[in-house]
Amino acid sequence: MLFNSINFLIFFPVVVAIYFLLPHRIRWLWLLGMSCVFYMAFVPVYIFILGFTIVIDYFAGILIEKFTGKPRKLMLLVSLCANIGVLAVFKYYNFITENINQIFSSFRYPNEIPLLDMLLPIGLSFHTFQAMSYIIEVYRGNQNAEKHFGIYALYVMFFPQLVAGPIERPQNLLPQFKEKKYFEADNVLSGLQQMLWGFFKKVVIADRLALYVDSVFINHTEYGALNLSIAALFFTLQIYADFSGYSDIALGTARILGFNLMVNFDRPLISKSITEFWRRWHISLSSWFNDYLFQPLMISTRNWAMAGAGFSLLFTFFLAGLWHGAGWTFIIYGIIHGSALTYEFYTRKWRKRWSKKINASVYNSVSILLTFCFVSMALIFFRAPSVEIAFEIIVQIFHSTKAIIFSWQVGSGELTFNAFSWLVIIISLPILFIAEKYMDVKTFHPANFKNCNVYFGILLLTLILTCGIFNQTSFIYFQF
């Protein structure tokens, strides 16, 4: 079920109303049942995949806690293999097979390994990573194994964050299912406000920018350097509005029910470096990779002198790229970021000294601009259908023979990005940046609620109803 669908508009109030009417001891069952309904609105049969990993991880968690030594390690491996195995089969099998077949055919080997014909289970990369976080934390002794099967299943399936995160940690989420929740006006108001803010980002900004971005990326050879550059910059804004908008709706939804999910975005587009960008962008994923992959790699390669950090960064970001999707475009996206972080790591002292010689506001402004442009360049690989096309677009931006050709209006038919679209974007982008700079829209905590007064809510609602695009476009990150 999509957050931006009529179904959800009916589903959610019903879930909330009955949740608070039920006695505390059976509320978990209601939330679990409704999470199943939410998930099964996509492809019902895939619930069995979730069930398979939930059962394995539930028992693995208990056994890890019980055992010591080798059996303990073995249970960790069994659980990790089950989770990574499910990912490998459903997400990466075809990609790996295609590449193997390509190698075979270059050696003129006649047989081909057959591909699987199936749809990627929605949210697979998110809930398997959340399940692995639980298992690793239990193994490290930071979390007790959950004995209540229903509560553990709910930890993996909690519908506000099931299909696109935030990828929660057991320490934050599991105890919340056991707390008694009360219907609190502050939570409901701030939750609704954050949902509204998320919908504004999604249907007013992201889906509007998508009209421009989609038109240009589909027919990239038709456009000159200026249109292509704008499309690349717009895609950065689009993906931010889309994904952070989703996160805002997820956090708001959970808060109305009385749950606090982790903050996933902290104004990443004003980062002054790529290192800072990854501290602010998709925080639940970057901190997952930091805690469970990057830090252990750094520790085990710490005696490789300076090479250890570079290797750890590149390897981590190679996998973080691959996490997004089974394709070379995502791998290159990851490696571009890994390389930038490596460069920043090795030059950090030099850059710090340099920054002291330059006027701070000039240095900061240039840093923000360069970081934004770099992120946009890397995102061309993320958005382009193939590596070849991504390179073509970049070459066209710098060496276009149509450099002067520019059209204000792009696309055709209903999907035209026209003068009205420009107006919507020119009005809504300043609202986005100014609101996120001065208001605590990051947390929307009840105590800060007076900042986001009712007039702001009315303004957002008006913009959503008059300028929003209601074609129920899926969120970009749902495909992962």
Partner 1 sequence: MEKTEILASMNKIWRDELDNEAITITESSTANDIEEWDSLSNIQLVVATEKLFKIRFNSAEIAQFKNVGEMIDCIKAKIG
Identify the residue whose tokens are 């998320």: 198
Shortest distance (Å) from residue 311 CB to partner 1 = 12
CA end-to-end distance (rounded Å), the chain:
15
Annotated catalytic residue: which of 324, 337, 399, 445?
324
What span, in angstroms and rounded, lies between the C-alpha atoms of 473 and 18? 29
User: Residue 86 carries which side chain, given as an amino acid letter?
Assistant: V
Nearer to partner 1, 275 or 474 (CB): 275
Q: Quote the least distance from Cβ 338 to partner 1, whole Å.
A: 13
Q: Which of 295, 386, 453, 471 binds partner 1 (CB under 8 A)?
A: 295
Query: Which 126-145 residues touch partner 1, going by CB under 8 A?
Result: 140
Nearer to partner 1 (CB atom), residue 150 or residue 308: 308
State the minimum distance, in angstroms, from the CB of residue 347 to partner 1.
Answer: 12
| Options 302, 405, 408, 430; binder of partner 1; rule CB under 8 A | 302
Taking CB under 8 A as the rule, does residue 275 contact partner 1? yes
Does 307 help bind partner 1 (rule: CB under 8 A)?
A: no
CA–CA gap between residue 255 and residue 319 (Å, rounded):
32
- Which range, of 21-29, 43-51, 346-354, 397-405, touches partner 1 by CB under 8 A? 346-354
The reply to whether 303 sits near partner 1 by the rule CB under 8 A is yes
CA 98 and chain centroid, separation: 26
- CB of residue 82 to partner 1, shortest distance in Å: 24
- Of 148 and 351, which has the nearer Cβ to partner 1? 351
The CA-based angle 387-392-394, given to 5 degrees, is: 95
Give the separation between CA 253 and CA 187, rounded to whole angstroms: 10
Contact present, 49 and 121 (Cβ < 8 Å):
yes
Task: Take residue 142 and report the two structure tokens written for it.
Answer: 């930071």
Interface with partner 1 (CB under 8 A), residue from 46, 277, 294, 381: 294
Does the annotation count 24 as an active-site position?
Answer: no
Other C-beta atoms lying within 10 Å of the C-beta of residue 21: 10
Task: Determine if 309 is a binding residue for partner 1 (CB under 8 A).
Answer: yes
Interior angle at CA 239, CA 233 and CA 244, nearest 5: 130
Q: Write the single-letter amino acid at 143.
A: Q
Helix 124-139 / helix 47-66 crossing angle, nearest 10 deg: 10
Applying CB under 8 A, the residues found at the interface with partner 1 are 140, 275, 290, 294-296, 298-300, 302-303, 308-309, 345, 348-349, 352
Active site amino acids: 324
